[in-house]
Amino acid sequence: MLERTRRNLLAFAALAAFGAASIGEAAAQPKPLTVVATTAMVGDAVRAVGGERVKVEVLLGEGVDPHLYKPTRADTAKMLKADMVVANGLNLEAQFRDTFEQLAKTKPVVLAGEKLPKDRLLADEDYKDKPDPHVWMDPELWTGVVAAVRDALAARLPAEKATFDQGHDAYVAELRGLAAYARQALASIPNEKRILLTAHDAFSYFARAYEMEVIGIQGVSTESEAGLKKIEEVVALVIERRIPAIFVESSVSDRNVKAVVEGAARRGHKLEIGAELFSDAMGAPGTYEGTYLGMIDHNVTTITRALGGQAPARGLKGRLGAAG
């Protein structure tokens, strides 16, 4: 009887010690920082830098146009509950401006794109006093946004700075590898075919980085609608320069693209519709194209192959078309 009691006490003591150790370990691991990101591109950057120290929720998913999107009550509630809000800024999320101003009174609201040097920003062709917000189209330039994310997270959790530095450095290395692939692949497109004709003008940073000419039927923001005169101007340009392909975008209506294709056909020129590009939103969650790296890999590979250049069908790492 005494021996059994002694064994029970020892077992209880061991369980108590294990429980105390578990509690201590849990206490040593702080609760993840809750971050709401507006776009999936920004959300990917936060996850890459923050790792397990952050819990990220993205508001604008696959196929959503951030230029036109208005935050819902549910979106506002999520941002109010979060420890931090991270956005692209540069007027991309134009309908969020008032919400951001109110939220900034109680928590960090990081407009990461606005941390980039002003001399690296391009002007909006429609509104010369505003910058073009599509900075993610150049992976090298996007490293500056990733750095802004790192700095914001480190300011919020100074004790985790080493972790955020490590996440930043690893992700930037991947971005630079992607940029090197893009330079090599796109350089193989013949000079006379280095014209990127798209639904709206989201590719100016891409064009600057890789020495291509870009023509968007709509302006930088999808709020500006292309009229009949603009369609006729684009058709005339297609005929004059014998442009072989036009690209649709995942987050923009293809109505104007079809109008240009039909206009060119009436004048005897066959304009092929290239595969869909990702402009203001990434691909489906759970796919490689649903990551920032996969989004840019897809665009680079698709454009290169459609315009007569050389690129592997499944992209940089052979993952295009595969699950994430």
Tens-digit pLDDT profile for residues 62-79: 889 899 899 999 999 999
Nearest to 307, CA basis, from 280, 265, 277: 277
- pLDDT the model gives residue 54: 98
Give one word for 153, left, alpha or beta, with left for phi > 0 and alpha for psi -120 to 50.
Answer: alpha
Q: Which domains does the chain show, CATH number per domain? A: 33-182 (3.40.50.1980), 188-306 (3.40.50.1980)
**How many C-beta atoms lie closer than 10 Å to residue 137's C-beta?**
24
- pLDDT the model gives residue 28: 55
- pLDDT the model gives residue 198: 85
Buried b (16+ CB within 10 A) or exposed e, 159-197: ebeebbeebbeebbeebeebbebbeebbeebeeebbbbb
CA count, 13 A, side-chain hemisphere, 186: 25
**How many C-beta atoms lie closer than 10 Å to residue 132's C-beta?**
25
In terms of DSSP bridges, do strands 245-249 and 84-87 run parallel, antiparallel, or are they unpaired? unpaired
User: What digits encode the pLDDT tens for the residues 231-250?
Assistant: 888 889 889 888 888 888 86
At 1, which helix (H) or strand (E)?
none
- pLDDT the model gives residue 201: 77
What distance, in Å, lies between the first and last C-alpha atoms of the chain?
60
- pLDDT the model gives residue 12: 39
The sheet that has 213-218: what strands, in order across it? 213-218, 195-200, 245-249, 272-277
Contact 134, 205 (CB under 8 A): yes
Cα–Cα distance, 162 to 312 (Å, whole number)? 37
Which residues of the chain, if any, have pLDDT below 50?
1-27, 220-224
Cα–Cα distance, 213 to 207 (Å, whole number)? 6
Buried b (16+ CB within 10 A) or exposed e, 287-320: bbbbbbbbbbbbbbbbbbbbbebebeeebbeebb
Contact 62, 128 (CB under 8 A): no
Strand partners, 60: 39
How distant, in Å, are the alpha carbons of 196, 221, 231, 240, 248 from that of 226?
A: 17, 11, 7, 20, 15
Sequence-ordered strand ranges (E) for the chain: 33-39, 54-60, 84-87, 109-111, 195-200, 213-218, 245-249, 272-277
Instruction: Give me the residue label for tokens 């923001």.
Output: 221
Cα–Cα distance, 177 to 171 (Å, whole number)? 10
Cα–Cα distance, 77 to 323 (Å, whole number)? 32
Nearest to 241, CA basis, from 203, 262, 269, 212: 269
> pTM (2 decimals)?
0.85
Q: What angle do CA 219, 206, 38 make, to 5 degrees?
A: 70
Distance of CA 271 to the CA centre of its chain: 29
